[in-house]
A and B are shown apart, each in its own frame.
Chain A
């Protein structure tokens, strides 16, 4: 029996730290977030009162929440397509036998290693100062306005910056996938007379479906959680038009002290994200081709 005890003890020593971290910082906060969402508490008072579904009912009539939800959905839809398109096109170009392709890969990936809050501030300077100057020098109307003061252009500003920041990341994943496409298949289809476009459409694309599933999942979940650029580039403005859900939950909880109301939003936030990604992965997995 002695070795049994010792074995159990070793198991505990190896596994316990990871489990404790998980319980303390993920499981326990999750349970508390759910409890908070049924309470009313400002973060300061010693007692919280129960309000049942009150917070959730309030969400239904909250136009700011509706606006933020709409922004987030629109942003996720646009960026999921553009991240993948830009990353895939870059990968396609840099998978060809170009002389400078290694250097180019480095260059396109480089923006991604800089944190996105920093990126947002850099682009604030570029959009406010540089674009204004382009407008003055060239007379192009688009550059004569301050993009960050117009709801529509603010949205596209964040999209452009996010695509610029993420294209290299998706390029790297697609490059790995393209290199995994067997050459003999491509050559065989070439011999059969398939054009370049035809080969791309009928051989390459079906074979990189698994990478597409992964990339769409990554794009959707990261865009849904978007916080940094909305915080640093547009501050959610103008008039709250670029306030992502993540930013709204942050400002509800830590600026306006609406702890429990923010918690209800946070729970809905999780459920919506989980729902979307489950459907996305489920649908795209079914279209993957087994080799």
Chain B
């Protein structure tokens, strides 16, 4: 338990250093693309003299000065499977972004989508030592959460206190300074496979970069794709990525659930490739140009050259109607959305007061997806694009960049997590005291 506490704390310190230097890179390692944004932090600046443009929901403290995207390699289902390839992809993206920013970046905040995220709700209640809730008391109540046995080989990625209750008053976001007797906390903890995190850390290290933070991409895309009232009232964000589909549920501006479906746009492409017997590159191309989920009469007549590079004229000149293409794509998209529905049901999404669902990610650009999704997920479905941040190039404003933009917001204003509070002394393992004693004995 203490291990991840210390590693996360070290990353927070690294983030502080990056803030002092004023430049940090955002790295979204996805299955289909690797995106890198370079942010410059130069304080909260007003955009206009007469104050007519406000602080843009607090993200105007930074500016995107470099952006680059490259095709991901060696990443499947949002997890790194070939380290060398992924390292090269990261290098490509970081180099191009640095070149655009014309500045060297040393700190990077990364996110990834896969690695079987699993949410846990923790709670704890303590009796206050004094009357006033202090930082120490908050740390104590956070430390007294009994952590479930999340299994070996798993690592805690997020541990965010989402709700504090003081005596019989609940729904406190920050109880510090208030008076009471009993303090209780609800905490949301997200664990992922440790191997995936270690692989990512290793890749980033190999690129001579320091990891200043790590986040789940479903969380990041939720931050950027959900508008403020949706985050407040409760909404689910579905990030249709390349290799995996992230699901996150927000409530009262906190993420309370995250999960991922190990299917995404790459599977649709693979289906097209298999069904039409064409190369993956061609399949990807006709998917993005002609793809859809609702066939109409017009689509029967629209013939698509699907190509091929066998040298056989007949084979390379094949044409399919757009309706056929849609017929291949639709079942897979339906499958993904049904899987998402299952995850939302498992999380108890139907009990939330608001049933808003926001689709984002590169896969949400399929024409007609909102109609299909509303049939499967519920009536309140909309397509979400990431928030507009300062200096973001036009090419990076699409829904595919939701998690990159969300990670930028996360980098600028990270939510308080467990490791932002000092761990109480009595929780320190006895080993470190022994080590200190030993050090004294050795040296004096």
A binds B: no
Interface residues of A (CB under 8 A from B): none
A-binding residues in B (CB < 8 A): none
